[in-house]
Amino acid sequence: MVSDKARPLFGRALLFLDLYVLGAVASLTFDDPVLFQEVLYSVDLQVVVVLMMRT
């Protein structure tokens, strides 16, 4: 488990990692709108989980 002091930092790091991965995948899947939407949806779910962990 992540300690209470490190949790906000951990969540922020995960969020930046997700955004970095999204940028990389978006550049690869930009020609395929369906795949692009699936990637967006999965990253959105991860962001929601991170935000829920922080509260």
> Is 23 inside any structural domain?
yes
Domain count, the chain: 1
Domain that holds residue 39: 7-54
pTM of the model: 0.35
| DSSP state at residue 1 | -
pLDDT in tens, 4-46: 666 666 667 777 777 777 777 767 666 777 777 777 777 777 7
> Is 50 inside any structural domain?
yes
- Tokens 């978006």 appear where? 26
Amino acid at 31: D
Q: How buried is 33 (Cβ within 10 angstroms: 0-12 exposed, 13-18 middle, 19+ buried)?
A: exposed
- Tokens 């690869």 appear where? 28
> Is 2 inside any structural domain?
no
